[in-house]
Amino acid sequence: VSPTRSLSLRDLADAIGASLIGDADRVVDRVEEPADATAGALTFVSNPRRSKDIFSTKAEAVIADFDFAAEQAHEVPCAVLACENRYLAFAQALQLLYGTLDKEPVVDERAAVSSDACLGERVSVGPFAVVGKAVIGDDSKVGAHVFIDDDVVIGERCVLQPGVVLLHGTRLGDDIYVNPGAVLGGEGFGFAPDGDLNIKVPQVGGVVVDNHVDIGANVCLDRGAVSDTVIGEGTKIDNLVQVGHGVKVGDHAVLIAQVGIGGDTVVGDHALLAGQVGVVHNVTIGRGARIGAQSGITRDVPEQAAWSGYPAYPHAQWLKTSVHNRHLDDKLKKLTRIEREHKARIEQLEAELAALRDLVRGGREEP
Amino acid sequence: VSPTRSLSLRDLADAIGASLIGDADRVVDRVEEPADATAGALTFVSNPRRSKDIFSTKAEAVIADFDFAAEQAHEVPCAVLACENRYLAFAQALQLLYGTLDKEPVVDERAAVSSDACLGERVSVGPFAVVGKAVIGDDSKVGAHVFIDDDVVIGERCVLQPGVVLLHGTRLGDDIYVNPGAVLGGEGFGFAPDGDLNIKVPQVGGVVVDNHVDIGANVCLDRGAVSDTVIGEGTKIDNLVQVGHGVKVGDHAVLIAQVGIGGDTVVGDHALLAGQVGVVHNVTIGRGARIGAQSGITRDVPEQAAWSGYPAYPHAQWLKTSVHNRHLDDKLKKLTRIEREHKARIEQLEAELAALRDLVRGGREEP
Amino acid sequence: VSPTRSLSLRDLADAIGASLIGDADRVVDRVEEPADATAGALTFVSNPRRSKDIFSTKAEAVIADFDFAAEQAHEVPCAVLACENRYLAFAQALQLLYGTLDKEPVVDERAAVSSDACLGERVSVGPFAVVGKAVIGDDSKVGAHVFIDDDVVIGERCVLQPGVVLLHGTRLGDDIYVNPGAVLGGEGFGFAPDGDLNIKVPQVGGVVVDNHVDIGANVCLDRGAVSDTVIGEGTKIDNLVQVGHGVKVGDHAVLIAQVGIGGDTVVGDHALLAGQVGVVHNVTIGRGARIGAQSGITRDVPEQAAWSGYPAYPHAQWLKTSVHNRHLDDKLKKLTRIEREHKARIEQLEAELAALRDLVRGGREEP
């Protein structure tokens, strides 16, 4: 990916709110890993395992936190930009160096835009996109091959990457980014049993996504059965996630790749579901709860709880079980061996006691 | 989603075969949740946790089963439509109120339809769809951006949502609904080992889907290696499901979201695989079997069996293991503690017995 | 799928390096399963469970290994093509019989190809494909609805099936096959915590795929955060796999369906991850390691190791745990029962010993 701007360290430090240790006139124009960096590069220590590379980097400057700067700035062969939150500062630096140069927004003449569509200012629409009777807010970008059905509303500054599908009843807020292949508003999986058959229950709810949500590639957000499927503000959804009909995900939640959530379930604000977690329908995951990877949630999870396993239970308890599980053969064998020993000693005692009793009785009868 | 019709309760009760308790002249024109409903709405109790809302709903009428009607109709502040199967009745009511108004079917002039394609009566084709040398039955709807390869056959009344891909050798029956982004006929994962390399084995089977099947968004049904991949009549496949080459799924089976099935495996009629289940290649899941969420099937499952876990085994046994697993640390600690106690008592006994034996022997020798 | 050529058994045996037992003048023109085969068909024993069908097949010839040929050729009612590696020979036979007849490569006039695009010799581009400022090597095929962004490089003889999305910074080598709906270069899942919020970290790495890689349908390969996401030569990726930002997969690795790999993780050459495996970010799976289906990898895996479970550990140990787990209720009940017995016997011994001691003491005091 090509960078789009260059900045002096002075300007960069100002922009990201960092304290600069080093030559303020040096210029950076791209980001590289510590080990690969060359002159003109900005770098960053993201992976602690690779952090030793920073002491021999050829980068111009490194973003670090105050602790690192205080202790190790003198050992680093480049300028140091010391910050409170190095992740945030790095994100801001990337936005500065790689931010897209605004292209002139254009509605491609090969797009099929309905005459009933209502497009805001500076909306761009890519080739072969289809836009039905929909509303699209200012500065939103509709990629190539995107399908926007009738009865869809899209806010401002949204980005729909190529191949995204928004079916009728979908409502997007502002500043939403949707990666390629995501499907919003697909039929929920609703079937009524009729003897041996399954009759489809029409799904008449929509999909409502609040501001600042990110949606990964090939994600599926089903429409609601009756009430809408809802994704709260600032929530981040990774690739290949499945969200069933009528699910309510709160604000600032995080759903890592390949998570699956059953119909009508509620996921609280700030909850985090790690990769490949499955959740049954109709349960509630409390605000701030953290669910371990691959766990299966079968009942309500309390607020702020950390749960793991399938069926899931508190993470600390699960960790103990995991350790036992790994050594279960040894543990059970040891228990069995000890019991065999006990049995032998008990039998020995029984025999000796009987012998002694005989001896005592014999002795008493004898005289 | 906007409703398309309104009905008096009299007509609705007739149409869905319900007994009406209440004013037959009232009219409903949409469906809403009990708590949200306003005048003119029909409602339904789907989630037992929220059922208390029905006693204060502002809906016009509620669909309920006979038991509920007999016991609680007098407590409900609206008309009651009492039915044998409330799910089925609700599905029918939704179809009546929200059924699509038939648009004039049209082959969009921006679609690329081969001159060798054979389209039935009233077939619609969306913008930018591609149709090769294929046969499409009467009343089928091909969405925007759909790709239909050469050598594809589609029956009557099928719906292909935007972005669906049907590769050569795909055969669809009648009344099949395919959600956006589903891929039918992708290359099966077949590679022949050649030393350290993997040589691709051409996959020459097709994909055959019987009538009344529903296929979720971004589902992948691979083509067969030699014999076809087959999905039986009435089977329902949820989003993001993977079906490997040559798999045979029976009639009226249910595959919940993110299930993955390995090549050449057989899934019997009416089998149900819950979310995120994985199945290895080349096994048979018996008719009517029910597999618990996230389970891993590694061998044949008998008919009508309920299995869970990985590797999976009977569900009742798995439930017991699950309970133990959660408390494994406590259980093993308790066992270890008891053994320590036993050991101490055995040693005490051994010492006391030895002392007593000495006493007895001493006593006997003394005199 | 329709075959494209017919061959005499003489020519077929020559082409695939097989020893022919039977009439060299017979002709085959397609492949069928042993049980379904009719005159003119070539067959193959892939599934040992169905191998009995070979003894009554109506096929013209069967591909088998030398051992089978030596022992059972006389029992098979058709010609036998005996080979060292029957899988490889079968793959070659399929390529001969079903190989695509080269169509005249054409850039469809309905494709949107940028005037800045650089297309090699004999490149074909399907209808409604979008090609930006990209380089495409000789003999590559771009399917319908494919999106190729600016700043993409594609080698020779690549096949991009319909609906594939390649975003900027993607580099494909030669002979790469990408199934429909795969997304290469989607935004990695990178967010910097800022108080309660998650700020997006721009992902500026690309996706680099080496020669002879196969990529399944609806796969997601995220772009790198800083350094590229890399897939090594000859690696095979099944459907619905998720590969996070900056992951480095080695050469000739195999990722079965629905695998998910967290950011910056390293997967060694020849490693095999079975279906639905999850791997956390920032770990290393050693060269040649084999990970069992549905396992969760939370730490480094040594080279050549076979691991299973979650958290994963050596497979042999996991197998023992699995067996215990299945019977955990019985085992724990048995242990508890034995302990109850031991306790009863210990108490009995204590009582008897006390009684005997009294007897002895009484006896000693009496006289």
- How many angstroms separate the CA atoms of B174 and B120, rounded? 13
Residue C162 Cα, gap to closest chain A Cα (Å): 11
Of C95, C99, C180, Cβ closest to residue B165: C180
> C45-49, C92-96, C141-145, C153-157: which range is least confident on average?
C45-49
The CA-based angle A105-A108-A113, given to 5 degrees, is 105
- Beta-carbon separation of C239 and B222 below 8 A: yes
Neighboring chain B residues of C270 at a CB cutoff of 8 Å? 196
- Beta-carbon separation of B264 and C335 below 8 A: no
- Beta-carbon separation of B294 and A280 below 8 A: no
Nearest to C332 by CA among B314, A322, B327: B327
Contacts across the A-C interface (CB distance below 8 Å): 216
Q: How many Cβ atoms sit within 10 Å of the Cβ of residue B312? A: 24
Confidence of residue B156 (pLDDT cuts 50, 70, 90): very high
Written as six digits, the tokens of A22 are 């080093």
Coil, strand or helix at A147: strand
- How many angstroms separate the CA atoms of C283 and A293, rounded? 15
Half-sphere exposure of residue C203: CA atoms within 13 angstroms, side-chain side = 26
The letter for the amino acid at B307 is W
Give the pLDDT mean for C235-251: 97
Q: How many Cβ atoms sit within 10 Å of the Cβ of residue B75? A: 8
**Residue B118 reports pLDDT greater than 60:** yes
The DSSP 8-state label assigned to residue B282 in this structure reads T
Q: Percentage of chain B with pLDDT > 70? A: 96
Most confident of A341-355, C228-242, C332-346: C228-242
Written as six digits, the tokens of C266 are 């390293």
> To which H or E segment does residue B16 belong?
helix B9-16
Of B165, B198, B349, Cβ closest to residue C234: B198
Per-residue pLDDT of chain A (367 residues; tens, 9 = 90+): 788 889 999 999 999 999 999 999 999 999 998 888 999 999 987 665 667 888 999 999 999 988 888 888 889 999 999 998 888 888 889 888 987 766 789 999 999 999 999 999 999 999 999 999 999 999 999 999 999 999 999 999 999 999 999 999 999 999 999 999 999 999 988 888 887 788 888 898 999 999 999 999 999 999 999 899 999 999 999 999 999 999 999 999 999 999 999 999 999 999 999 999 999 999 999 999 999 999 999 999 999 999 999 999 999 999 999 999 999 999 999 999 999 999 999 999 999 999 998 888 876 655 4
Minimal-distance CA residue of chain A relative to B254:
A198
Q: Note the pLDDT of residue A367.
A: 46
Stretch 20-79 of chain B: residues touching chain A, C-beta under 8 Å: 30-33, 36, 44, 46-47, 49
Interface check A349 vs C, CB under 8 A: yes
Task: Please check whether residue A229 is in contact with residue A243, taking contact to mean a CB–CB distance below 8 angstroms.
Answer: yes
Stretch 252-271 of chain B: residues touching chain C, C-beta under 8 Å: 258, 260, 262, 264
Cα Rg of chain C (Å, integer):
31
- Beta-carbon separation of C216 and B244 below 8 A: no
> To which H or E segment does residue B152 belong?
strand B152-154
Of B186, B192, B294, Cβ closest to residue C239: B186
Neighboring chain C residues of A236 at a CB cutoff of 8 Å? 189, 191, 198
Give the pLDDT mean for B135-161: 97
- How many angstroms separate the CA atoms of C345 and C261, rounded? 55
Q: Note the pLDDT of residue A115.
A: 95
Among B142, B196, B204, the residue to mutate for chain C (most C Cβ within 10 A): B204
Is A212 considered catalytic here?
no
Task: Please check whether residue A249 is in contact with residue A230, taking contact to mean a CB–CB distance below 8 angstroms.
Answer: yes
Minimal-distance CA residue of chain B relative to C99:
B202
Neighbours of chain A (3+ CB pairs under 8 A): B, C
- How many angstroms separate the CA atoms of C93 and C13, rounded? 9
Written as six digits, the tokens of A241 are 């996630």
Stretch 76-135 of chain B: residues touching chain A, C-beta under 8 Å: 85, 87-88, 90-92, 94-95, 98-99, 108, 110, 126-128
Residue among B145, B168, B212, B245 flagged as catalytic: B245
Strand order in the sheet with A41-44: A19-21, A79-83, A61-65, A41-44, A30-31
Of A183, A201, A264, Cβ closest to residue B217: A183
Neighboring chain B residues of A133 at a CB cutoff of 8 Å? none
**Is residue A103 packed enough to be buried (19+ CB in 10 Å), middle (13-18) or exposed (0-12)?**
exposed
- Beta-carbon separation of C162 and B130 below 8 A: yes
Where helices occur in B73-106 by DSSP H, the ranges are 86-98
Residue among A145, A212, A245, A252 flagged as catalytic: A245
**Residue B333 reports pLDDT greater than 80:** yes
Give the pLDDT mean for B161-172: 97
Number of H helices, E strands in chain B: 5, 39
Residue A228 Cα, gap to closest chain B Cα (Å): 9
- Beta-carbon separation of C127 and B112 below 8 A: yes
Confidence of residue C367 (pLDDT cuts 50, 70, 90): very low
For the residues of B195-220, what is the DSSP string, one character each?
TTEEEE------EEE-TT-EE-TT-E
**Residue C50 reports pLDDT greater than 70:** no
Among C249, C291, C325, C353, the residue to mutate for chain B (most B Cβ within 10 A): C325
Stretch 186-215 of chain B: residues touching chain A, C-beta under 8 Å: 214
This prediction has a pTM of 0.92
**pLDDT tens-digit readout, C278-319:** 999 999 999 999 999 999 999 999 999 999 999 999 999 999
The DSSP 8-state label assigned to residue B127 in this structure reads T
Residue A357 Cα, gap to closest chain C Cα (Å): 7
**Residue C115 reports pLDDT greater than 90:** yes
- How many angstroms separate the CA atoms of C10 and A357, rounded? 93
Interface check A8 vs B, CB under 8 A: no
Stretch 298-337 of chain B: residues touching chain A, C-beta under 8 Å: 322, 325-326, 328-329, 332, 335-336
| Token pair 């709906």: residue | C181
Of A91, A127, A270, Cβ closest to residue C202: A91
Of B194, B338, B356, Cβ closest to residue C357: B356
Nearest to B257 by CA among C212, C252, A219: A219
Of B163, B240, B326, Cβ closest to residue A321: B326
Nearest to B281 by CA among B294, B268, B299: B299
Residue among C145, C245, C252, C270 flagged as catalytic: C245
**pLDDT tens-digit readout, B79-109:** 999 998 888 888 889 888 987 766 789 999 9
**Residue B271 reports pLDDT greater than 70:** yes
Residue B212 Cα, gap to closest chain C Cα (Å): 24
Q: Note the pLDDT of residue B348.
A: 92
Most confident of B321-335, B341-355, C252-266: C252-266
